[in-house]
Amino acid sequence: MENTAKITVKASGTYDILLAKGGLQHIGQAAAERFKPCKIAILSDDKVFTLYGKTVMDSLQKAGFTTVSHVIENGEQSKTLDNVTEFINTMVGAQVTRTDMVLALGGGVVGDMAGFASAIYLRGIPYIQVPTTLLAAVDSSVGGKTAVDISAGKNLVGAFHQPSMVYLDTDTLSTLDPDVMRDGFAEVIKYGIILDRNLADTVARPGTFDLEQVIARCISIKRDVVEQDEFDKGLRGLLNFGHTFGHAIEKLSSFTISHGSAVARGMVIAAKVAAAYGYTNYTNAIAKVLESYGFDLSCPYSASDMYNVILSDKKRSGADITLVLPESIGKCVLQKMPAMQVLELMKKVRL
Ligand code: GLY
């Protein structure tokens, strides 16, 4: 296919991430080049399926696949075990077998759920990610982390299960609400701060850069990290910059504060905590960039409330918590410390 860039991930499975601007109607062809004709169970949400469901199904059917679809309500509140069970029941009803596939058409919620359902259905079947949000494009669709939320916290039930293909048509981002687009920029800015000073400088000036190139750069960074640490034993933890505090904010807000907005606030808290711990203070530099995208960086919760949620976060190991702290812009480090010290540091800084 013309104008399709390819980034290949070599993890426990090898797969292509195809950047096919304007190419959603060719997804069937891309799938047919890689997979035998089979049944594809599409999981999508009501917003995305209305916009792109027919294009994807028509293209897959034209290329020799049969399709079945299951649509959930848009939003984080849908990322539940019950909804995974319902999707699995749809697959059972459609007689989806181990030689068939799942396809996630949507943002992070749909991608995480579809990935998890495909990890556990029949002890694992392959799946395709078709991210339609910036956040899913640069982060959640790549790397095989799949999960659902439970009442104790976000993403606490999940599995590592790499997709077999990621197909991104960046034109689908044009229909995003501005606040959903902004959410994605929190992750884009994150990549710059943790690992790439040039990217950080580029995205520090909103509206002045080529979004396709920035997305490709973020995906390449994620690919490199996942290839070195697929199962999140070390390096991959850097991708959680802002997420320990961000997940707590999301949870305490009952998910009325979106993931990107919570991560933006979390990155600023991490910068403050880093300074209180003894690192150079990058709080203002990080906050300035995030504010230029319109992020609200306030934290409406107390250190104690945040701490109680952080204790059930999966990034805790025993009595310790590993925080991602900025050593400079473009270089973050993993800093393990006793959980109580995190509480003390949060109390010390103004959240
Ligand atoms: N979103 C963080 C990771 O994939 O590791």
Tell me the CATH number at 170.
3.40.50.1970
Same domain, 261 and 282: yes
Q: Which of 175, 192, 227 is the last residue of a domain?
A: 175
Q: Which of 175, 205, 240 is the last residue of a domain?
A: 175
Same domain, 209 and 333: yes
Say what the pTM is.
Answer: 0.95
- Number of Cβ within a 10 Å radius of residue 351: 19
Please tell me the distance from the alpha carbon of residue 129 to that of residue 105, in angstroms, as a whole number: 7
Q: According to the model, what pLDDT value does residue 314 have? A: 66
Same domain, 237 and 253: yes
Q: According to the model, what pLDDT value does residue 350 have? A: 79
Same domain, 239 and 170: no
Please tell me the distance from the alpha carbon of residue 131 to that of residue 123, in angstroms, as a whole number: 24
Q: According to the model, what pLDDT value does residue 222 have? A: 98
How far does the centroid of ligand 1 lie from the alpha carbon of residue 142, in Å? 8
230 lines ligand 1 (CB under 6 A): no
Same domain, 89 and 214: no
Among 155, 53, 54, 50, CA closest to 108: 155
Instruction: With beta carbons less than 8 A apart as the criterion, state whether 246 and 295 touch.
Output: no
Q: How many domains does the chain have?
A: 2
Choose one of 222, 243, 314 to mutate for the ligand 1 pocket test, by most ligand atoms within 8 angstroms of C-beta.
222
The rounded average pLDDT for each run of 10 residues, N- to C-terminus, in the chain (351 residues) is 87 97 98 98 98 98 98 95 98 98 98 98 98 98 97 91 98 96 98 98 97 98 98 97 96 94 98 97 98 97 95 77 97 96 94 79
Produce one character per residue of 18-29: b if its CB has 16 or more CB atoms within 10 Å, e if not.
bbbbebbebbbb
Residue nearest to atom 2 of ligand 1 (CA): 239
Same domain, 324 and 199: yes
How far does the centroid of ligand 1 lie from the alpha carbon of residue 93, in Å? 32
Same domain, 81 and 52: yes
Same domain, 46 and 65: yes
The CATH number of residue 296's host domain is 1.20.1090.10
How far does the centroid of ligand 1 lie from the alpha carbon of residue 309, in Å? 19
Same domain, 183 and 171: no
Instruction: With beta carbons less than 8 A apart as the criterion, state whether 268 and 297 touch.
Output: yes
How far does the centroid of ligand 1 lie from the alpha carbon of residue 63, in Å? 32
User: In this structure, what is the dihedral angle of CA atoms 71, 74, 77, 82, given to the nearest 10 degrees?
Assistant: 0
Q: Which of 175, 204, 236 is the last residue of a domain?
A: 175
139 lines ligand 1 (CB under 6 A): yes
Q: According to the model, what pLDDT value does residue 2 have? A: 59
Q: According to the model, what pLDDT value does residue 315 have? A: 67
**Domain containing residue 78:** 4-175
Query: Which residues, other chains included, contact 208 with Cβ-Cβ below 8 Å and sequence gap of 6+?
Result: 202
Choose one of 129, 138, 139, 230 to mutate for the ligand 1 pocket test, by most ligand atoms within 8 angstroms of C-beta.
139
- Number of Cβ within a 10 Å radius of residue 150: 14
Same domain, 52 and 196: no
221 lines ligand 1 (CB under 6 A): no
Same domain, 207 and 171: no
Same domain, 184 and 166: no
